[in-house]
A and B are shown apart, each in its own frame.
Chain A
Amino acid sequence: MTLSQAMFPWLLLTAAFLFTLGALGVLIRRNPLVVFMCIELMLNAVNLALVGYSSYLNSEEGQVFAFMVIVVAAAEVVVGLGLLTRVFSIGRELDVDDLDELKQ
């Protein structure tokens, strides 16, 4: 019932893969809800790396930071979804490319 240290690079690889996949999703998807989910995916990838390091280096601090990340993610979802409902309630399309007021 032990984990081989050889697993650790694979764990980091998965974390990196999930992170970049989330970033990719942010880039190519236009539905803001999916964009938010991809951001959650990126945060989860970071958590995976943190917990992996925590276990690997025998230090609980990685888990503490992962906990903080979860709190931040929860806050982000609350505000983000609040923003989405607001955008929706004033009659806008749910499309990231439609929100181009930054240009004006």
Chain B
Amino acid sequence: MSPSTAALLAGLVLLFPLAGSALCGLIGPVLGRRFVNLAGTLSIGAAFAVTLVIFAQVLGAASGHQSTTATLWNWLDLGPGNLNVSVDVTIDQLSVLMLLVITGVGLLIHVYSVGYMEHDPGVARFFSYMNFFIFSMVLLVLAANMIILIIGWAAVALSSYLLIGFWYERESAVLAARKAMITQVIGDVALVIAAILIFVNLKSVPQICIPPPGEVCALQLQSSQHLFTLSLPQIFANASSLGAGSALITLICILLAVGAFAKSAQFPLHTWLPDAMEGPTPVSALIHAATMVTAGVYLIARFHPLFDLAPIASGMVACVGMGTAVMAGFIALSQVDIKRVIAYSTMSQIGLMIFAVGIGAYAAGMYQFLLHAFFKALLFLAAGNVIHAVHDEQDIREMGGLDSRMRVTAWCFLVGSLALAGFLFAGMFSKEDLLGFGLINGPGAPALYIVGIVVNVLTGLYAFRLYGTAFRGEPRSDAARNAHESKAVMLWPVVILAGLSALAGWILQWPIAFGPHLIDAFLNPVFTSPGSGPIAKAPSLGLGVIGFVIGVTCSLIGIAIALRIWVRRDLDPSRVLARPGLRLLPRLSFNKLYFDEIYDALLVRPTRALARGLRRVGDPVMDSWIKGVSGVATDFSSAFRTIQTGLIRDYASYMVLFVVIFTVAVMLAAGLAK
């Protein structure tokens, strides 16, 4: 693909959602619901069509030529040694994979939203925000310049903020939106600091360029002018001048990771994600499950040349990812809000992705991202159907028995739950794949692997607790008794996603369910390109089979226990949990390990107390100073009161008088000195 083609296609993918956002937001309220539904959905459909063209181009390109970087225009040019920003886009296997999910799953969710937002008066605003989110996300994944990437990064946070607070009449929604924004900004600041560090340390090094095979190095031209534009290929080509394993590159990578953690809701910046479920359910499906929260995974995968050089930072990323996976799985066990359970499962699954990219198994992480996008969007949309059917009730204790009333949704939800738990469907492939890498890679391998199989058990448990409680048994409320199936426009996206969740793994990995898969072959050129370091070693076939069997077995154990407790109800966990050592566990889980309370006590309250204390101390101290100073000034100026006539023209006269005297004096002095 030539750079001009790449620029054209990338421009189109960016343009369609942006135009859709502008159309819906500006003239949507005037032209009405039908126009908004059409414009909001068609724009994403057009973007998806262009994405398919890009995908075909990348697939058709010769080996080694799939990656194209094009400069749309030079945004900021302050000359050599200064900041230069060019609007670069890169089209390679990684960005195409992201684009496919963003626009493809995005399209399905937009179609679903037409039904979900049918009675909402703010539908124009909703589609405007959603389209703007798609635009920001596309900008984020296409960006080949760190500044542009940060702009996309901040823009997705903005659209997330707007959409969480979409129902702004609710106080809880506004608070949740604010919480999400503040957490995101912590990550943004970390990214900006990382960009500054990179810029300061690389702006003056001689630019090294490694040309792609059979091509002339385009960067060489820039290097002669010493223009450092913060473009990603340039950063990666010169990453080694930061010093492999040095404190500097470790710091940069940790800052990048903090940015990724904030976006992907990883410990300790995870508390915003469950609250973000205040937004409409399609938002939760698109932004807080399928795409935006996985941007952190993308960021680390995109910056793999830096992370390859910083093993300490990568190890930290892997540990945080796995820790979050366990923590979120544990909390998900006792939540009662259907969307919050899925939110915690998202957090847990993204933890696994973060773990994968932390140990260098980038392709495995992106594989999990792809399949997770399918089944998590499916779960959220199905949950949206349920919430719709039981009249905005989200508490699973008020549901039950929905499987006979909403047959299609229930089957799709079952597929999603199996995919999530990792048996038969999507999750089985991607999760066991990345855990397989964990057997021999990462800090203290296979310690984190063992934690990983605990996550498998937990996943099976909470996935089927949710399914069992919400869909099986007897209805526990009138709303659940009177529930009925949703309309076709809300059903078809769910069915399509269910099909994808069920089949995608099998297709991509035919004929064997472990070992290499198509995504691996597709993405690895990106991660093994010249200039980047070693990637994680794949486990041998034998080890892979053993890991696969252990993983699936653990998932099945979790599923089986969950089915006995919450579907057949012949196992009562309360007796086990009543033991002295375990009595605390349910309370910890139900209260989300008290993270909100801890942050409140550690950050919010001390800040408030400090402000109060400073005010108490500050008032008398500062006032005495100020009053003293002003008193002196008052006494002093009362002496000069007589010339204060209050007439502005008099003051101007004094000024002119002295300006003239001063000027003439200076001139005279200069003349005398000559």
Q: Which residues of A contact B (CB under 8 A)?
A: 20, 23, 26-28, 30, 96-97, 99-104
Say how far B642's CB is from chain A's closest CB, in angstroms: 11
Interface residue? B648 (CB, 8 A): yes
Which residues does chain B contribute within 8 Å of A26, judged by CB atoms? 649, 652, 656
Residues of chain B contacted by A101 (CB below 8 angstroms): 646
The 7 A-B residue pairs with the shortest CB-CB distance, nearest first, are: A103-B646, A100-B646, A102-B646, A23-B656, A26-B652, A27-B653, A96-B648
Contact partners of B647 in chain A: CB under 8 A: 96-97, 100
Complex CA gap A30/B660 in Å reads 22
Segment 645-659 of B: residues with Cβ below 8 Å from A: 645-649, 651-653, 656, 659
Is B646 within 8 A of A27, CB to CB?
no
Contacts of A97 in B (CB 8 A): 647, 649
Most chain B CB within 10 A, of A27, A28, A101, A104, is at A27
* Contact call A96/B649, Cβ cutoff below 8 A: yes
Q: What is the minimal beta-carbon distance from A27 to any residue of chain B, in angstroms?
A: 5
10 A-B residue pairs with Cβ-Cβ distance under 8 Å, sorted by A, are: A20-B660, A23-B659, A27-B652, A27-B656, A96-B647, A97-B647, A102-B646, A102-B648, A102-B651, A103-B644
Which of chain A's residues have a CB closer than 8 A to the CB of B660?
20
Residue among B649, B653, B656 with most chain A CB within 10 A: B649
A100 to chain B: closest residue by CB: B646
Interface residues of B (CB under 8 A from A): 644-649, 651-653, 656, 659-660
Chain B residues with CB below 8 A from A27, complex form: 649, 652-653, 656
Main secondary structure, interface of B, reads: helix
Residue of A nearest to B660 (CB): A20
In whole angstroms, what is the CA distance A26 to B647 when docked? Answer: 12
CA–CA, A28 and B646, complex, Å: 16
Nearest CB in chain B to that of A98: its residue: B647
What residues of chain B lie closer than 8 Å to A103, measured between beta carbons?
644-646
Known A23-B656, A27-B656; judge A102-B644 contact (CB<8 A): yes
Q: How far is the CA of A92 from the CA of B651 in the complex (A)?
A: 21
Q: Which residue of B lies closest to A30 (CB)?
A: B649
Closest residue of chain B to A23 (Cβ to Cβ) is B656
Considering the chains assembled together, what is the distance between the CA atoms of A90 and B648 in angstroms? Answer: 20
User: B residues within 8 A CB of A20?
Assistant: 660
Who on chain B is nearest to A29 by CB? B649
Nearest A residue to B656 by beta-carbon distance? A23
CA distance A97 to B649 in the complex (A): 7
Q: Tell me, in angstroms, the Cα distance from A29 to B339 when the chains sit together.
A: 73
Nearest neighbor of B644 in chain A, beta-carbon distance:
A103
Query: Closest A-chain residue to B663, C-beta based?
Result: A16
11 new A-B contacts at CB < 8 Å, known A96-B647, A99-B648, A100-B646: A20-B660, A26-B652, A26-B656, A27-B653, A100-B645, A100-B647, A101-B646, A102-B644, A102-B646, A102-B651, A103-B646
CB neighbours (8 Å) of A99 from chain B are 648
- Shortest CB-to-CB span from A87 to chain B, Å, is 12
Q: Which residue of B lies closest to A39 (CB)?
A: B652
Assembly CA distance A36 to B646 (angstroms): 19
CA distance A28 to B649 in the complex (A): 8
**Contacts of B651 on A, CB cut-off 8 Å?**
102
Q: A100–B646 Cα gap in the complex (Å)?
A: 5
Residues of A within 8 A of B653 (CB): 27
- Closest residue of chain A to B651, judged by CB? A102
Contacts of A28 in B (CB 8 A): 649
Q: How far is the CB of A66 from chain B (nearest CB, A)?
A: 20
